[in-house]
Structure 1
Amino acid sequence: MELFTPKRLDSYQYIRVEEVRCLLRDLFRSAETPVLLKDHLYTMILNIMSRMVLGRKYTQEQSLSSGAPAAIVPQKEFKEMIEELMLLNGVINVGDFIPWLNFLDLQGYVKRMKNLGKRFDRFLEHVLEEHNERRRREGKAFVPRDMVDVLLELADDHSLEVKLERHCLKAFTLDMLAGGTDTSTITIEWAISEILKRPETFDKATEELDRVIGRGRWVEEEDVHRLPYIEAIVKETMRMHPVAPLLVPRLSREHTTVDGYDIPAGTGVLVNVWAIGRDPAVWDAPEEFRPERFVGSPIDLKGHHFELLPFGAGRRMCPGYSLGLKVVHLSLANLLHGFKWRLPPGMTAEELNMDEMIGVTAPRKVPLQAVVEPKLPAHLYYA
């Protein structure tokens, strides 16, 4: 409630705008050549989250030099660390199901988890130390600039019912970085993939953008509510490709019965939103990408409608859903507004691989390669 207030998210709007413009400029420079979209999206969203959560970019594209600050991590390495985190969170570990085999670590997952934990811990220790040093240096004049600053102030509040220890601060920080970076990247990549499979969707999106925005400026966050078809594309993408197919694990608090099955209190529960989103009893033609189904529909993404729950529902729904939607809507709208999209030469829509990877998230198995063609005045890409 403290980290994701509307006022705080609005105060970071300039960061989101700056980084989206950097993405558009980078794609403009790569026009007419196949680009690996995921890499560009990942860089943009990691920069947004780093600046909002940590106060500055703690990654760099080049390899570490001897004079680089200790908290700086090469961007490629940080990306690999986040991807490893998401993979290990979703793997099936034999030792969890056959406890007497756990000590053998037959698949090597436990060893990988421990190594990854140490790498993240070193990075997050540097981040907290840098922030604490600024607090000490500025004294009473200190003003929180980012989410880590807010967390450190909360940790000093001894009236809190649950005390925030140092390991809690690191866990919160990692949750925000990982949860905000990987998920938004995956959603936008799937949206562009589906649009490439169904070109008429792009034509309808372009018509709406030209009519509402015009070709003399970029889409702003305040414009999104006037772009119902863009919002429908995001909803349809999240229906077909929820980034967390099983949400986060839950626990039944009391005994209940579901479809004739007894579910005792204390049972671990996984909600399969991937299956719900493709249930023919709920959706017409569930395997088809049809954003039109959401135009004029009252169904929203806030957990009020159980047929569409990409962020979950109730008190344990994703706390950062409003931030995620801001980033996805702004990025996708401008990507569709600024460029025509097509597959690399020689590839047809039927040949585009749409397989998913299995894990706590469901990214594309084969990263999307696409060719972009600018369709706005050139000066806008450098504005």
Structure 2
Amino acid sequence: MALFMLLLLALMLPILGYTIYQRLRFTLPPGPRPLPIVGNLYDITPVRFRCFADWAKTYGPIISVWLGSTLNVVVMNTELAKEVLKEKDQQLADRHRNRVTERFSRGGMDLIWADYGPHYVKVRKVCTVELFSPKRLESLRPIREDEVTSMVESIFKECSKSANVGKSILVKEFLSPVAFNNITRLAFGKRFVNAEGLTDEQGLEFKAIVSNGIKIGGSLALGDHIPWLQWMFPLEEDTINKHNERRDRLTKSIMEEHNLARKMTGGAKQHFVDALHSLQKEYDLSDDTIIGLLWDMITAGTDTTVISVEWAMAELIRNPRVQQKAQEEIDRVIGTDRVMTETDFSKLHYLQCVTKEALRLHPPTPLMLPHKANANVKIGGYDIPKGSNIHVNVWAVARDPAVWKEPLQFRPERFLEEDVDMKGHDFRLLPFGAGRRICPGAQLAINLVTSMLGHLLHHFSWAPPEGVKPEDIDLAENPGLVTYMKTPVKAVPTPRLAPHLYKRIVA
């Protein structure tokens, strides 16, 4: 036992000495006092972005948070966000990968987890110029409108049953299939769920892989924060390898289906898997990169869409005035004898403001994914050593009373009074990030969220369940990288249009 303690002490002393040296050498941002070894791990409350915003009241808008022996710097106002994402963007454009994401991404061979460098620049160009170009997004519009009208049809069938009239539905149950089917059809050209809601064999495997990946990714051990303790928390290498093999096997089988279809028809469709295959030689893309990109789109584009629409619906039900005003605009522009399409968005100014206000108050990734410093740099006058992680608390930035009037109020009119960009040019509003690591699918996400909200408001009026006041709807968040509602919203939908307008428009 004594020998073990001596060995442990021998391991700890160099690490502690280096940590103390770092803190003396650099002028780090202030923050709560870290404990030896674990740092601030046991100080952080589950909803991290709220915890960091509370600490900012004591320590200021830039704070140091030690997760084990790793320095994490969190910034929480517009000026500092601009410094991180624009002025010092290149020095802070790397990506922190823990042991799980290192293996899932094959060492950063995708886009999301890649460090900034030639590979990242190349893959990002593929995304912005090829995959998410305006031309391709327009060509895939029928798929989005198909899935959104399918959602409307499902809700109408549910609330029109005699036993369900006046009863509430769990809104998320009808949002999730839209996001799932939309992203799988865009990425793979496949709708795994049929019109009756039954999932085929490939779809069941697909969902199982996604669920298993989330489970593995969420099982972080103390060794992921304290590298020299990793020997005590070994990774389940076999589990991760089997997961990767399973994911690759499904993806390659779908890719092979597309290859055979191309040979038979002599042409390629607009789906991402076809696009990436046709671009593979031109951009020198490995199979690992293609598979990584496809799964990046799936993981980034499924939960975030559902989260954004559910929060928006919660706010619209809590604020009947806003709901009515949005419906009045839709009725004026669209009328009641046809359904909305994405080409109508340019005339629906207030609806766009509703989308923007929902993303301001409830960004789906409130801390963004962490950036990593690839050089020593100064932010806000403080030193940020190379290797530190940097988080922008976009939730706190978008609620800063110094730049927002009545920041806690859901008031879409603010964006009629002043047009605020939300695609990385105005650092007050950053739901998709900014700079070199801005989400390349931002416009696709905005289109889908706006379409879902527009159809939900055009086709139905929404009220809280019987006995629940609008102001009593719970707006607490679940802990996690993305911010699902702690209490999923329930609401009573009442149809507003003629029955024939509730049919799915099949692409």
The percentage of aligned residue pairs carrying the same residue is 38
Q: CA, structure 1 residues 104+350, in 2 after alignment: closer, same or farther (shift >3 Å)?
A: farther
Distance 1:188 1:81, change over 3 A: farther
> Conserved in 2, the CA contact under 8 Å of 1:88 and 1:109?
no
Q: Which one of 211, 216, 221 corresponds to residue 332 of structure 2?
A: 211
Letter in 1 for 2:476: D
Equivalent position of 2:182 in the other structure: 48
Which residue identity lines up with residue 384 of structure 2 in the other structure? I
- Aligned with residue 133 of structure 1, among 234, 255, 260: 260
After TM superposition, the structure 1 stretch with the greater mean CA deviation from structure 2, 360-369 or 2-11, is: 360-369
How far apart are 1:262 and its partner, in Å? 1.1
SS at match of 2:383: strand
2:392 counterpart SS class: coil
Deviation readout 1:103-122 (Å, 9 max, x if unpaired): 4448x898876665454333
Structure-2 change in CA distance of 1:232 and 1:265 (3 Å): same
1:94 aligns with 2:205: no
1:246 alignment partner in structure 2: 367
**Are 2:323 and 1:202 equivalent residues in the alignment?**
yes
Residue equivalent to 1:38:
172
Q: CA, structure 1 residues 174+142, in 2 after alignment: closer, same or farther (shift >3 Å)?
A: same
CA distance in 1, matches of 2:157, 2:314: 21
Q: Offset at 1:306?
A: 0.2
Q: Which amino acid aligns with 2:450?
A: H
- What SS does structure 2 have at the residue aligned with 1:353? coil
The CA deviation at 1:137 is 4.3
For residues 218 and 399 of structure 2, the distance between their equivalents in structure 1, rounded to whole angstroms, comes to 21
Q: TM-score, normalised by structure 1?
A: 0.88
Distance in 1, matches of 2:432 and 2:463, equals: 30
Letter in 1 for 2:472: E
Superposition deviation, residue 82 in structure 1: 3.8
| Residue matched to 2:131 | 3
**Rg larger for:** 2
Match of 1:124?
251
Question: Aligned runs of 1:160-309 on 2, under 5 Å?
Answer: 160=283, 163-309=284-430
Residue of structure 1 aligned with 2:198, choices 62, 68, 73: 62
8 Å contact 1:54–1:147 — kept in the other structure? yes
Change (3 A) 1:82 1:186: farther
Q: TM-score, normalised by structure 2?
A: 0.67
Equivalent residue number for residue 334 of structure 1 = 455
What is the aligned partner in structure 2 of residue 17 from structure 1? Answer: 145
For 1:103 and 1:300, locate their aligned partners in 2 and report how far apart those are by CA, in whole Å.
47
Whole-angstrom CA distance in 2 between matches of 1:324 and 1:152: 24
What is the Cα deviation at residue 207 of structure 1? 1.5
| Aligned length in residues | 368
What amino acid maps onto 1:354 in structure 2?
L
Q: How far has the Cα of 1:349 moved from its partner?
A: 2.4
Counterpart Cα distance in 2 of 1:112 and 1:285? 49
CA contact (8 A) 2:371 2:389 kept: yes
Equivalent-residue separation in structure 1 for 2:217 and 2:353 (angstroms): 30
Q: For each residue in 1:190-230, what CA deviation from the matched residue of structure 2 results, as whole angstroms up to 9, or x when unmatched? A: 00011111111111111211222211222211111211111
Structure 1 alignment gaps of length 5 or more: none
Structure 2 residues not aligned, in runs of 5+: 1-128, 160-164
Determine whether 1:146 maps to 2:271: yes
- Aligned partners of 1:115 and 1:168: how far apart in 2? 19
Mean Cα displacement is larger for which, 343-352 or 249-258?
249-258
Alpha-carbon distance change, 88 to 283 in structure 1, aligned in 2, over 3 angstroms = farther
Give the Cα–Cα distance (whole angstroms) in 1 for the partners of residues 447 and 467 of structure 2.
35
